[in-house]
Each structure stands twice: as structure tokens, then as C-alpha cells.
Structure 1
């Protein structure tokens, strides 16, 4: 069928999401929560739990986003279970530590795996917090498979259709819809299609997105759950050598050998035990022997980003939109935040409660965030190299990191805590564009009040004008709260993704609130033009 000929009766589903990793599944769940129908197409089995123990670092910003949807606890439970299972493996890679030592002690809270006061690293220069100035900041190690499983259950609970074991071989977009053709001859017709199918995205290529960036300068080969016959031959932790760098147990149970200016590997070939052993021997200068590896992998510092995340009715999210090295543990977080930003916007456009121009804010808000991650990941790759110049740079950088302002900046950057979305309104309140979950309104249940996927107008003064402003808007609800310290704005309009769309103090004109409501959620049906009313 010609996608240009779409009519209401020709649509199988509102959105086809290509890719069933954490990003695609979380996006599908967000769409379902907001009232849009979605189907996820994934080439592997979604319902079968993957057996890979590979860990992903989930940052503080992502954990707070998940908390808004009630998903924090299952993710933390998955992290706790994973680290318990890795205790023996981690100890096996470090002959100086007994199995019951510090890995077990890390399985206590959302600060799992932070090594006490460490909040992450930049180019393996640790960001420590000995004074406890960042008690709520943590990099939580969660198995990729477990993260996927949590989001899979969430998506299924919201009625998302799952198409397993199939790949998309063609995409036919048009002005009114998109048809996705599968490798078994079937076609799925949708209003929109989102490519969340990874760094080698088929959707990105078929839909004509560009992907400029920089080529690899390093090649890393590693494995999860690796057994060495002679672990004493490799230094524990992170070590730079004349031939590259080693990371042994930096991520519990994981072993990685990094070589610079190495010849490119066949990206599609399977990493063998022999390839991993050869890389370890070259980098370490020893004859270490690998007797078993459960989940071998390779990666590079290839860094690329599409100039736009939307072409008509086709959009990109996660690694399909941007790729970079895994240094700093930012990748999966960047993709989940893409999905959190896109899901509610796309659902409201589909339902007709917001204009399609709302989708332009997706690229406008998320592209700069990914560009900054690409920049810092390139810098981290440079800091890993060998040589007297890099040695001097690392020493200087390590000194700078200890400056309070520099450390704060780097920790907030790594955990995406400093993101402020540009609203294009110079006169807006300074809180507009910031993450609202950091601003506690007593009595409003701020950590869970966005669980239903709707926006929220938090009111600390009980204003009838504020309540009237959202009357008749099904996507926005009003809630009374209070500011015990009497600081900050009297009211906040919080988007479904947790970011502030409007903030006001007593005496502010309410016309700006109506403008924000119309911009993000569309004009209220048959809404009369009202005279500006002071808030409070």
C-alpha cells in the first residue's frame, strides 16, 4: 500500500518502534501510558530473558526519571541481584581479594558500585566525594538484560504489541503515515515510526538521515564473566601501558583490553576467546591465558550524531541517533532520556491534543545534550592514551578535578543533572527548563505524581485562577502543595517528563501560563480569551 494514501482506517498501530532494547521498550511504554498504540519490532526474542550479564551504569538523572513512573525499585532490585551474582566472578579476576570482600558490601542501596565516595569517572580519572557533598548521586550498575526486562513488562502492561524475531527491511514514509516492511513479507502501517535500532540503525539508513562524526581511534576487546588461568599476571583496576590500557574489574566481573591506532576489526564478526586473549597479551605484555569468556564484545570510540532526529513521520532515538564510546557510562542513559522526552510529545500529537510542531522540540532539546556527551567521550578517549604528553595532561586534569567548582561541573555533566532545556523565552522564570523532581512541594507526592503520564500544575497558594487555567485539559491536572521554607515559585507547570514548562510567583501575570499550556499541550477547546490574572 502507498503510504501517501493513508486514512484513519488504514492504520494498524499509531507508532512502530523498531528496536526492542531498553530505549525502544521504554519509549513504547511511554506511548502506551499516554494513550497511543505502539508495536515494537525486535530481531531477537523479547519475552525470553537474555543470558548476558553485561552491566550498564544508570545515572542519577535517569533513576529520577524512572522514579517518576514507579520503576526505580525494580531497577534497583535488578542491580542488587546482579552484583550478588558477580561477587565470585569479580573476586576471581582479582587474586588479592576474597569473594566476601568489598563487592558484597556494595549491595546495599541505590549507591551500588560507587566504591564508597566515587561518583563515576572522566577518562578513568575518578570523581570522588570523600566529604559526602553528593550523597544522592550514584552510578547504579544494572544488567542490560534486566533493564530490558523491566521495560518489557512495563510496555506489555500498557498494551504494546510485540513483534519478535523479525527485522525491518524497508520503510516507506509519506505525509500521512509510514509503512514498515518486515523480512517475512508482512507490512505494518502506522502514523509514525521511531528507529531505536542501535548504532547500525537500519531505519536511519532507509529513511535518509545523515550521520556525521569522527572515525575510531581505538579498539577495545573485552568480555563479561571471564575466567583466567593466571589472573595474577594482570593488574587489578585500570592500567595504562605502552601498548594500550587494561580495565580489570572496573565494572564487576568485566575485563577489557584497549589498543590505540589498531587496525579496524570486522564489526559483524563474533569476538572469539582467542581474539580476547591475543589483545590482553599485546596490551599487558604477558602470556596470560583466558580459559573461558561468557559474553565477549568489542567497541570503539566512533562518535557520530544525526543532524536531526526527525524526518517527517520517521524519528530516531538512542544509538540510532547518536553513537560514542561507552566511557563514563552515559550511552543507555542518553537513550532513555530521549525516550522520556519524545514519548509524551508524540502521543499527544497522535491524539490531536497538540500540534505536530511539538515534535520539533524533540531535536531542539535533545540534540545539544547528545552533542555534549560526544564531546566529553572524545575527551575521555584522549585521556586514556599513552605518552608523556598525555601523562602530563592527566596529572593536570586530576589536579583540576579536585577544585570544588570543577568537580561539581563534571559530576553534574556525567549524571545529566545540569540539563536546562532552552524554552526560547528570555523573560521566563529561571526554573523553566530544569528538572522539577529536584524541587520538593510538601504534600504533593512529587516523586510519584507523574506516574499517570500527565502534566501537573503544582500550586502552593491554592489559586482559583491556577485551577481554572487547567480546567478541561485532560493532559494536565492541578495539585495543591506547599513550600515549607517559603522559597521558590508559588506554582510550577511540570511536563510529563519532569521538566518545568512554566513557573510563577505571586503577582506574575497568568498570560504566560496560558502560553505555556497552549505551546506544550495545544489550545484548550473553545477556550475563551481571558484577561491576565495575577497568580495568587
Structure 2
């Protein structure tokens, strides 16, 4: 079976990538080992930046009513996210299985092929393509493509078969998770330190509670624990007995923190937890992986389509590896604050004082929300390299609506014939939109900037300080001889 791209893994990252590839015109097949969705959800929401990503593809409304709050935390210390314009402590109450269902429907509507019950067992990079063998319902099946992307989680088969290294730190702490019913459990929404560790509890609705229990240290055992072990730890730390609870599902995770040295080896790439693992603090894991997919999708689609300029695909690693490294650092820091014993109380006290300083709070909010991401696209004023906020443009549309189709956008506040003519050779890849924002934000449309070029992922690639044709060629490849497109 020949495709442009094979995606391994039908979690949120793999499904998001499949949709992005289809928007870019690539033929894609997704191979998923599970025969049916698990229905389980470690994550229960996503960050402000992931919220923007879903909105720019017209997906946010598919999740139903979304709730956000500006009241969050950093390592268990309260933090007001309202100090940054447009920031919030993520969308809460959206379980991961619902995210997967929405993204699977979307990718399918766009024409992605999703094959469940197909476990990858062999992988070879032939130099001009990739050949993969998966065990399927009817036995082994061979797939070939120009590229393969591993989105198959922290225990990634792709990472192992392709020989990626995975440096980092081993686990020092562990956390047990369970969804239980039939219990009267006091909510502890951001966690509560108790003698011997930390516990967290939150109602999920329908009489189901999620509990997380984090004893100090690391047990000698490995793998998934029996629920009786989790109930024992909960009893030890809270005095409450849950052994007779109705258990929906349970799991275990640690603070092991690792990241591959390179996100690409030849024609094999990694995204999401296949490329980086860390303590799940602040719902950053799913969000980080979804942003990997959106950064990679349009670049890989342009590569297989033959329109990508030299080096475009390599910019995926260059842009996303530093972002992943920073998330790993902040989750390690949060784990230290959150899960350590009384010996860290002096550090917690100092951090609480620092977080009351608006500039320090803005730094941490930008870090955890992802709103401070700025890719190094060369010299130029903000918002060059930053994501364009979803500001209203006129009575009918916003910035995110212009990005639904995954194309570049030349946002032109001048309406000049010169800009239209300059962009005409890229009209098959870039939409020329004559409009000015109705709202001005620090990272929006700065004073003196008459036009902006947005990449398909929503990041600003040009602010008028260089030749427009140069930047169009840098991100969208060579121009094609054609008449200038009609501005929208």
C-alpha cells in the first residue's frame, strides 16, 4: 500500500498530524495498534495555546461547551494566569478520549485512512522512502511511503526500530491514578501535600471521581499496579478506605524525563510523547504534542507535494526541540515543588513571593501556557516568530477563521496593488486577505506594521521589514507564474 506519509499512532498527536497532512494535500494512512479506542483519559484538558490551535482549524466548537479559568498553579503554588492577555489555565473537563474522537472524525472527513488493529513490527528507511510492516487482523501487511512519523507514545515502537537515542533522567517519583465511583471523596483540585506525599481528587461527573496519589520516593515494582495497591497508598496518606470502590480504570506514571536528540532521522520523524516524556504537570503533554503535529504537518505535506523550499522540513526539529526542552525543564521544576517533602518548604515560600511579582508571574504563565513561544525566524520586531492572536478583523471573521484550511495568509492592511502583485505567484498556497484587526494586542498588529504573513500554523513569518517575495519563497517555495489571486 503506497502513501505519501505513514503515521503510527492514533492518539491526539497522530490524528492531529493526519488532519494537517490532508489539509496540505498529502495522502496519509494512520496505523494504530488498538483495535478500538480505549475510552480512557489520562489528560482532562489542554493549555491555552492548544485551545488556539484547535480554534484555528475550526475544531474547538466540536468539543462542546468549554470552560476556562485564570486561576492556576505552578508546582502547586497558586498562580493568576490573568496577568497575561488572553491567557488561562487551559480548558478543563475535556477528557482525552473525547479529543481523540473529535480529531479522528475530522481527519476522516478530510480523507485520512485510519487502520486500527495494526501493530508496527518492522521498519526500514530505504533512502528514497520508508517500508513498514504491521501485524493486522488478516496477518502481516506491508506499507510504503515517502515518510513515516512516529506518534506512538512514550514507549514508542518507531523510536526503537529507527534507532533514535532518548537521553534524559530516570524516574525518581511515581504517581498513581484511578477513576472511581461509589465514594464520598473531598475534592483537592490542585493537590494537597500531606504527611508522606501528595494527593489530588476531582469530580468528573456522574458520580465518578479522579484520584491521584503520590507517595514520596519510588517503589521497587514496575508496570501497572493492582488497584488494591493504589487504595493502600490512598489509605496511608488520607485515612480514607477506597478498596471497595467501583474502579473505571487505573494507571501509574512517573517523573522520568527524556527527549530524543533529533526529531528526524532520514525519512522517519517523531512527534509527541514519542519524542519527549515528562511529568504530567499542568496538562502540557497533550498540548505540546498537538503543537508538534501542527508545526510538522504543513511542512511535511509541502515536502511530499514538491513545493517545499530547501530546509523547510529540518525547521521542524529546529523550532520544536527547544520548545520541548523548555517544557521538560518546567515540569521537572514543578515536580520538585509539588511532590517533594517538607525539606522544599523554604523554596516553596520564596517561589510564592516571586510569583506575586507581576513580571515573574507573566514569565511563568507564558511558559506553562505556551503563549510565550517565539521561533527564531531572524531579526525583526514582535510578533515575528510568534503566533498571531485570534483578534477580530471585521464584523464577519477573525484570524483563526482565515486559518481553517491550513494555508498561508497574507494579512494586508493596505489593500495595495503592490502587495497583491507580489503575492500572486503563491496564490495556490497563500491567501491574500485585505483587512486590519479591530483590536490591538501587544502580540497582535503592532503600530507601524501594515501587513503580516502568517504560516499555516498561525505563526508570523513577515512583518514588512524584508522583501515579501523573499519570505514567501523561504516558507512556501518557488513562485508559480500566474495572475495575482483575488483578495478575500
What TM-score results when the alignment is normalised by the length of structure 2?
0.90
Is 1:502 aligned with 2:454? no
Conserved? CA contact 1:238–1:250, under 8 Å: no
**Residue of 201, 209, 213 corresponding to 1:257:** 213
The aligned runs of 1:112-261 (5 Å cut-off) are 114=69, 117-118=70-71, 120-128=72-80, 137-141=88-92, 142-183=94-135, 184-228=139-183, 231=185, 238-249=191-202, 253-261=209-217
CA contact (8 A) 2:76 2:190 kept: no
Q: How big is the alpha-carbon RMSD for the aligned residues of Structure 1 and Structure 2?
A: 2.3
**Distance in 1 between the 2:34 and 2:120 partners?**
12
* 1:292 and 2:265 correspond: no
Deviation of 1:379 (Å): 0.6
The 3-state SS of whatever aligns with 1:249 is strand
Partner of 1:383: 337
Query: Distance in 2 between the 1:38 and 1:133 partners?
Result: 38
Residues 161 and 180 (structure 1 numbering): CA distance in 2 closer, same or farther, change over 3 Å? same
Flag the 1:297–1:454 CA change in 2: closer, same or farther, 3 A: same
1:12 matches 2:8 = no
**1:114-145 Cα deviation digits (max 9, x unpaired):** 3xx41x2211112136x786565241121111
The answer on whether the counterparts of 1:494 and 1:501 sit within 8 Å (CA) in structure 2 is yes
Contact 1:220/1:299 (<8 A) preserved:
yes
Task: Tell me if structure 2 keeps the 8 A contact 1:456–1:494.
Answer: yes
Moved more, 303-312 or 399-408: 399-408
1:356 CA drift (Å): 5.2
Q: Does 1:314 align with 2:268?
A: yes
Number of residue pairs aligned between Structure 1 and Structure 2? 467
Aligned partners of 1:61 and 1:417 also within 8 Å: yes
Does the CA contact (< 8 Å) of 2:408 and 2:429 recur in 1?
Answer: yes
Q: Distance in 2 between matches of 1:23 and 1:261?
A: 31
Corresponding residue number in structure 2 for 1:461: 414
- Counterpart-to-counterpart distance in 2, 1:33 and 1:237: 38
User: Compared with structure 1, are the counterparts of its residues 445 and 240 closer, same or farther at alpha carbon in structure 2 (3 Å cutoff)?
Assistant: closer
Summarize deviations over 1:363-389 as a string: whole Å, max 9, x none: 000001110010011011111244443
SS class of match (1:185): strand
Cα separation, 2, equivalents of 1:73 and 1:490:
31
Partner-residue secondary structure (3-state), 1:492: strand
The residue aligned with 1:84 is none
Whether the aligned pair in 2 keeps the contact of 1:242 and 1:386 (CA below 8 Å) is: no
Pair 1:403–1:476, CA change in 2 (3 A): same
1:366 to 2:287 alignment: no
Is this contact kept in 2: 1:429–1:502, CA < 8 A?
no
Q: Which residue of 1 aligns with 2:67?
A: 110
Structure 1 residue 258, shift from structure 2 partner: 0.5
Q: Distance between the aligned counterparts of 2:238 and 2:398, measured in 1?
A: 53
Change (3 A) 1:68 1:488: farther
TM-score, L = length of structure 1: 0.82
Give me the whole-angstrom Cα distance separating, in 2, the residues matched to 1:297 and 1:411: 29
Mean CA deviation greater in 484-493 or 340-349: 484-493
Taking the TM superposition and a 5 Å limit, the aligned residue runs for 1:1-40 are 12-40=2-30
Match of 1:66 in 2: 54
Secondary structure of the residue aligned to 1:359 is coil
CA distance in 1, matches of 2:373, 2:360: 16
Deviation string, structure 1 residues 482-534 (Cα, Å, up to 9, x no partner)? 25578351010000000001111xxx55x2x222111111121469xxxxxxx
Deviations 1:263-302 (A, max 9, x none): 24322x4x32212112212333565544221110111000
CA displacement 1:323-348 (0-9 Å, x = unmatched): 00101110000000000000000000
Q: Which residue among 471, 488, 499 is the counterpart of 2:424?
A: 471
Q: 1:378 to 1:310 in 2, by over 3 A?
A: same
Contact kept, 8 Å, 2:309 with 2:478, in 1: the verdict is: no
Offset at residue 241 of structure 1 (A):
2.3
Does the C-alpha gap of structure 1 residues 346 and 188 become closer, same or farther in structure 2, counting only changes over 3 Å? same
* CA displacement at 1:225 relative to structure 2: 3.2
| Unpaired stretches in structure 1, ≥5 consecutive residues | 1-10, 81-108, 528-536
CA distance in 1, matches of 2:189, 2:284: 23
Deviation for aligned residue 1:442: 3.8
Deviates most, 276-285 or 202-211: 276-285
Three-state SS of the structure 2 residue aligned to 1:189 is strand
Q: Secondary structure of 2:22's partner?
A: helix
Determine the C-alpha separation between the residues in 2 that align with 1:306 and 1:52. 27
SS at match of 1:357: coil
